[in-house]
Chains A and B, each alone.
Chain A
């Protein structure tokens, strides 16, 4: 999950944030969490495509997939297994 955190930091250019600052279950899009916005959501979709070759086919799944780093990691693991 640390690799994924580093990729998120790089993709979103999160200045002064390190992988250690992001909790596994910390909400990505709420003010209590990282406070990301809709542009960041698009960047995360591109991250999944670029790094893991995963395309999100149902936009309604977005809030669940991008809730936290853990939910993203679980989605990546599940979908990479299916692809393999």
Chain B
């Protein structure tokens, strides 16, 4: 069974919502926390509805609409999302009021909007989509498990077009808490220098990216989702290397068939060591591109990575800002996207070019 990516949409710290060539206008930052560039949400959402939506809901609705528009669809048969943190902003509003007002006079809006499946629910309400609707909250595997669910549903034949997305937001509260874990750099760093940073820590990011998947090839489709695999808490790099070899074998290819490796390097010298080991063992001469210096680190950043990898195949070129090692390949037939989130959640997504 072939699974085609018929449309994509993305809201991120880059100008991804406005269309045009990939990274046509690069946004460079010098900070430890990247926020999305908000498009004009009113083009998709009525003013009366937008007033109740927090940023992550608006980002999700916008990315979902962009994906459907590029696929030439008005409504999908199913909506599946992945998010690690959910609607943090409204959760914070609700909990703060609960404490400040001693559990009395709580308003309904923040409560209603604070659940993890709010984004998928709002998209369904706006599109009047009464089909399958599910949200995966599996930390660094949230987006990947949404993809796996979509693959299974397409395999069953119970849906023809599925909208799949991953999204997370940063709030002041969440950034403060995560900063205490030492995840982020202590001083601002230029995003284009991030991947060569000699220090621990990365930069925080956020965003929403959606794919419209189908087992029927759409008119503008250039990419197939060939495979998805996850590996939780490998004991050492050999386990990751072995997993990649098996994953590629199960998809009838070898490391030599990969034209471009896209990795989730995030500029944390400790976290990036794994990518070095894997590249040295399996892809020593392969060109490598990266994405987290463009969108920041968050548990569903692979949704941005997959969106970018699809664009690389569609455009058959790699912008200089995305290249990390080697020269852009002349032809991009297969991309392996390898990401790990905080060393525990390793995921592998294989994309192939279709004529």
Taken residue by residue from 46 to 58, chain B's Cβ proximity to chain A (1 for < 8 Å, 0 otherwise) reads as: 0110111000000
**B105 on the A face (CB < 8 A):** yes
A65 CB, nearest partner CB in chain B, Å: 17
Q: Is the beta-carbon distance between B105 and A14 smaller than 8 angstroms?
A: no
Inter-chain contacts of B108 with A (CB < 8 A): 39, 42-43
CA distance A14 to B51 in the complex (A): 6
> Measuring CB to CB, which residues of chain B are less than 8 angstroms from any residue of chain A?
47-48, 50-52, 105-109, 112
Q: Is the beta-carbon distance between A13 and B107 smaller than 8 angstroms?
A: no
CA distance A46 to B52 in the complex (A): 16
Q: Is the beta-carbon distance between B50 and A43 smaller than 8 angstroms?
A: no
Inter-chain contacts of A16 with B (CB < 8 A): 47
Q: Is the beta-carbon distance between A43 and B51 smaller than 8 angstroms?
A: no
Inter-chain contacts of B105 with A (CB < 8 A): 46, 49-50
What are 11 A-B interface contacts by the 8 Å CB criterion? Answer: A12-B51, A13-B51, A15-B50, A15-B51, A35-B48, A39-B52, A42-B108, A43-B108, A46-B105, A46-B106, A49-B105
B141 CB, nearest partner CB in chain A, Å: 34
A9 CB, nearest partner CB in chain B, Å: 10
Inter-chain contacts of A15 with B (CB < 8 A): 47, 50-51
Inter-chain contacts of B50 with A (CB < 8 A): 15
Chain A, 27-84, CB within 8 A of any chain B CB: 35, 39, 42-43, 46, 49-50
Nearest first, the 7 closest Cβ-Cβ pairs linking A and B are A13-B51, A42-B108, A49-B105, A46-B107, A15-B51, A46-B105, A43-B107
Inter-chain contacts of A14 with B (CB < 8 A): 51
Inter-chain contacts of A42 with B (CB < 8 A): 107-108
